[in-house]
Amino acid sequence: MTTNLSVVQKKNKRKKLKPIRIKEVASNEFTLPDGSRIDTEHELLSFLLPENVKAFYRELSLSVEALCGSRYEHSEHRLYRWGKQAGSIVLGNQRVAVERPRVRDAETGKEVRIPFYEKMQNPDSYDRAAFQSALKKCSQRDYKNGVPELAASFGMSKSSVSRSWVRTTGKKLEEFMSRDFSSVDLVAVLLDGKRFQDVGCLIAMGIDSSGKKHILGAYQCNTEHSESCKSLLEDLERRGLPARDLLFVVDGGSGLNKALRDKYDVHRETRRAVVVRCHVHKWENVKASLKPEEQHEAKSLYWAVRDARDLTQAMACSEQLKAYLKRVNGSALTSYIEAEQELLNLHRLKLSGSLKKFFSSTNPIESLNSLLEEDMRRVKRWQDSTHFRRWIATMALKNEKRMRKVRGCLGMLALKVQIQNLCKPEKLDESTV
Per-residue pLDDT tens for 74-133? 666 778 778 888 887 776 556 777 788 888 888 888 888 888 788 777 666 555 655 565
Report how far residue 310's alpha carbon sits from residue 399's, in angstroms, rounded to the nearest whole number: 35
Indicate the residue type of 407.
R
What is the dihedral angle through the alpha carbons of 376, 379, 383, 386, rounded to the nearest 10 degrees? -20
- Higher per-residue confidence, 35 vs 225: 225
With cut-offs at 50, 70 and 90, classify the pLDDT of residue 270.
confident
Stretch 176-190: mean pLDDT, rounded? 93
Range of the structural domain that residue 399 is part of = 183-422
From CA 353, how far away is CA 407, in angstroms rounded? Answer: 10
Q: Comparing 151 with 96, which gets the higher pLDDT?
A: 96
pLDDT at 114: 84
pLDDT at position 73: 73
- Within this chain, do residues 290 and 146 fall inside the same structural domain, yes or no? no
The type of residue at 166 is V
Residues 286, 412, single domain; the answer is: yes
How confident is residue 209, by pLDDT bands cut at 50, 70 and 90?
very high
In a domain, 7, yes or no: no
How many separate domains does the chain show? 2
Q: 311 and 164 in one domain?
A: no
* φ/ψ (deg, to 5) at 124: -60, -35
Q: Are residues 322 and 357 in the same domain?
A: yes
More confident of the two residues 124 and 265: 265
According to the 3-state scheme, what is the secondary structure of the chain? CCCCCCCCCCCCCCCCCCCCCHHHHHHCCEECCCCCEECHHHHHHHHCHHHHHHHHHHHHHHHHHHHHCCCCCCCCCCEEEEEEEEEEEEECCEEEEEEEEEEEECCCCCEECCHHHHHHHCCHHHHHHHHHHHHCCCCCCCHHHHCCCCCCEECCCHHHHHHHHHHHHHHHHHHHHCCCCCCCCEEEEEEEEEEECCEEEEEEEEEECCCCEEEEEEECCCCCCHHHHHHHHHHHHHCCCCCCCEEEEECCCHHHHHHHHHHHCCCCCCCCEEEEECHHHHHHHHHHCCCHHHHHHHHHHHHHHHHCCCHHHHHHHHHHHHHHHHHHCHHHHHHHHHHHHHHHHHHHCCCCHHHHHHCCCCHHHHHHHHHHHHHHCCCCCCCCHHHHHHHHHHHHHHHHCCCCCCCCHHHHHHHHHHHHHHCCCCCCCHHHC
Residue 294, number of CB atoms within 10 A of its CB = 17
Do residues 55 and 105 both lie within one domain? yes
- 4 within domain boundaries: no
Query: Which has more confidence, 373 or 44?
Result: 373
CB-based contacts of 288: which residues, under 8 Å, 6+ apart? none
Q: Distance between CA 361 and CA 250 in Å, rounded?
A: 8
Asked if residue 303 has pLDDT above 90, the reply is: yes
Q: Is residue 432 in a domain?
A: no
The residue that leads in pLDDT, 427 or 200, is: 200
252 burial via Cβ count (<10 Å: 0-12, 13-18, 19+): buried
In sequence order, the 6+-apart residues with CB closer than 8 A to the CB of 357 are: none
Tell whether 124 and 207 lie within a shared domain: no
Question: Band of the pLDDT at 181, cuts 50, 70, 90?
Answer: very high
* pLDDT higher than 80, residue 256: yes
Those residues whose C-beta lies under 8 Å from the C-beta of residue 219, and which sit 6 or more positions away, are: 201, 202, 203, 204, 228, 231, 232, 235
> Which is it for the CA torsion 100, 106, 110, 113, positive or negative?
negative
What pLDDT sits at residue 7?
Answer: 46
* Mean pLDDT for the chain overall: 79
Residues 362 and 224 in one domain: yes
Residue 204 near residue 234 (C-beta atoms within 8 A): no
Residues 189 and 306 in one domain: yes
Contact between 347 and 308 (Cβ < 8 Å): yes
pTM of this prediction? 0.65
Least confident of 10-24, 322-336, 346-360: 10-24
Q: Is residue 9 part of a domain?
A: no
172-176, 338-342, 399-403: which is most confident: 338-342
Q: Which residue has the higher pLDDT, 283 or 104?
A: 283
More confident: 55 or 241:
241
- Model pLDDT, residue 293: 93
Q: What confidence score (pLDDT) does residue 184 get?
A: 94
Q: Can you list the pairs that 110-118 forms with residues at least 24 positions away whose Cβ atoms lie under 8 Å?
A: 111/82, 112/67, 112/79, 114/60, 114/63, 114/64, 114/67, 115/63, 116/59, 116/60, 116/62, 116/63, 117/60, 117/63, 117/87, 117/89
Residue 401 burial (C-beta neighbours within 10 Å; 0-12, 13-18, 19+)? exposed
pLDDT at position 427 is 42
Residue 333 has a pLDDT of 95
- Claim to verify: residue 52 and residue 145 sit in the same structural domain: yes
What would the pLDDT profile of 334-376 be if each residue is shown by its tens digit?
Answer: 999 999 999 999 999 999 999 999 999 999 998 888 888 888 8
Report which of 291, 306, 297 is spatially closest to residue 355, judged by C-alpha positions: 306
Question: Is 124 within 8 Å of 158 (Cβ atoms)?
Answer: no
Does residue 154 sit within a domain? yes
Q: Are 330 and 392 found together in one domain?
A: yes
Single out the residue in 175, 209, 238 at which a domain terminates: 175
pLDDT at position 304 is: 95
Does residue 152 carry a pLDDT above 50? no
pLDDT, mean of residues 328-336: 94
Considering 122, 152, 175, which residue would you say is the last residue of a domain? 175
Q: Report if residue 298 sits inside a domain.
A: yes
Q: How confident is the model at residue 150 (pLDDT cuts 50, 70, 90)?
A: very low
Q: What is the pLDDT of residues 220-236, one digit of tens each?
A: 887 777 888 888 899 99
Q: What is the pLDDT of residue 157?
A: 58
Q: Are residues 196 and 255 in the same domain?
A: yes
Q: Are residues 278 and 352 in the same domain?
A: yes
- Could you tell me the maximum CA-CA distance found in the chain, to the nearest angstrom? 105
- Is 428 part of a structural domain of the chain? no
**Domain C-terminal end among 117, 152, 175:** 175
**Domain assignment of residue 3, yes or no:** no
- What's the CA gap between 175 and 206, in Å, rounded? 17
Q: Are 301 and 308 in contact (CB under 8 A)?
A: no
Residue 289 pLDDT: 92
CA nearest to 388, candidates 166, 239, 230: 166
